[in-house]
Structure 1
Amino acid sequence: MNLLELIRKNRSFRRFEENVKIEKDQLQTFVEHARLSASARNQQSLKFLLVNQPEDNKKLFTLLGWAGYLKDWDGPQEGERPSAYIVVLHDNNIATTHFCDEGIAMQSITLAAAEAGFGCCIIASVDRKKLRLMFNIPEHLDILNVVAIGKPAEKIVLEEISGDNYEYWRDEQSIHHVPKRALNDILWPK
């Protein structure tokens, strides 16, 4: 699979086959991709908390917000929740800023997961205070985002934006539609 095909496959999945487990060594492989990726000023101030035990998954799930545009959906039901998570942290003892490092790292993680047959959803809607308490995360580590990971249990279709509406949506068959701007619309000048 070439890189463009991998990027097309790498979507924000929100429903998973929860019974498909992801082992810690597989999560470490995903983080290895992030570790070797670019880092602003090469400070490498990110840390990664790996979560893949069912009890921890269940607790962490309650601290996340899912799919803001889907107003009538509260998130994945039991059986379609992620099998693992990677919590992305910034170590303030190493650097005071992280610039765009977490974006680069999370893209590397999600691409590696997609290549391995998994899907991810990067979640910024996190109850950071409760998450910090739950995993005893020290104050010098900022909680940036959570990457939910699992075997995808939904179909996602990319399509060109119609008009100005960029919001994703689901049809009657629960197919998830993701509008994308046309290449000519994002090139400047036209």
Structure 2
Amino acid sequence: MLKELLLKNRSYRRFYQDVRISACELADLVGLTCYCASGRNAQALKYKPVTDSVLCDRVFHNLAWAGYLKDWDGPEEGERPSAYLIQLLDTSIVENCLCDDGIQAQTILLGAVEKGYGGCIIKAFKNESLREVLQLPEHLKIMYVIALGKPKENVVLEEMKDGDYKYWREADGSHHVPKRSAKDLII
């Protein structure tokens, strides 16, 4: 069961934008993080859900998409995320979340896959502009933007060849992701 979720959990970058994710569904995904391990048990991560289409558009214009695809500026209108969860570190609790950010982001994406959605964890964003769009107080630091929606693209996992880990796209839009084998990960 877990392996099936992991195989479906890809970095999706194109979505059926008209398939909306409700605030309730986002709250359910955030709720999963309550069960995650937390360094020092600080539990300092919080989330800003974004479901409104106008605000989603404003968030979208503050993101960078798929760094290896140099000729692609991100999903076109109609293929953009229908929701976002903005992961925030509450620096009034701690200054560093250790590894909590990755644990929780992965948990959210696995939960999204279980609901028939998919997403992409984005670290490339215009920090100050995005903070302004979201009207965030100073003590909340943006860690990641988790883009969510109903996936519209075909992601193909393939064996990594010659150490080339860069993902790529075919003319038909299929997104190829090279992966190392388990034997290559064991020393």
Q: What is the CA-CA distance between 1:32 and the residue it aligns to?
A: 0.6
Q: What is the CA-CA distance between 1:36 and the residue it aligns to?
A: 1.7
Give the whole-Å Cα distance in 1 for the aligned partners of 2:180 and 2:163: 9
| Residue deviations 1:47-91 (CA, integer Å, cap 9, x gap) | 100000000001000000000001111100000000000000001
- Residues 30-179 of structure 1: pairs in structure 2 closer than 5 A: 30-179=29-178
Q: What is the CA-CA distance between 1:159 and the residue it aligns to?
A: 0.6
Give the whole-Å Cα distance in 2 for the aligned partners of 1:90 and 1:76: 27
The count of residues paired between Structure 1 and Structure 2 equals: 187
Q: What is the CA-CA distance between 1:174 and the residue it aligns to?
A: 1.0
Specify the SS of the correspondent of 2:113: helix
Q: What is the CA-CA distance between 1:187 and the residue it aligns to?
A: 0.5
Runs of 4+ in 1 over 2 A off after TM superposition: none
Match of 1:22 in 2: 21
Aligned-residue RMSD, C-alpha = 0.6
Specify the SS of the correspondent of 2:5: helix
Specify the SS of the correspondent of 1:159: strand
Give the whole-Å Cα distance in 1 for the aligned partners of 2:107 and 2:31: 9
| Residue deviations 1:139-165 (CA, integer Å, cap 9, x gap) | 111111100000000000111101121
Specify the SS of the correspondent of 2:141: strand
**Amino acid in the other structure paired with 2:98:** F
Identity %: 47
Q: What is the CA-CA distance between 1:172 and the residue it aligns to?
A: 2.1
The gaps in structure 2 that reach 5 residues or longer are none
**Amino acid in the other structure paired with 1:171:** E
**Amino acid in the other structure paired with 1:54:** S
Give the whole-Å Cα distance in 1 for the aligned partners of 2:171 and 2:133: 38
Q: What is the CA-CA distance between 1:13 and the residue it aligns to?
A: 0.2
Q: What is the CA-CA distance between 1:35 and the residue it aligns to?
A: 2.0
**Amino acid in the other structure paired with 2:88:** L
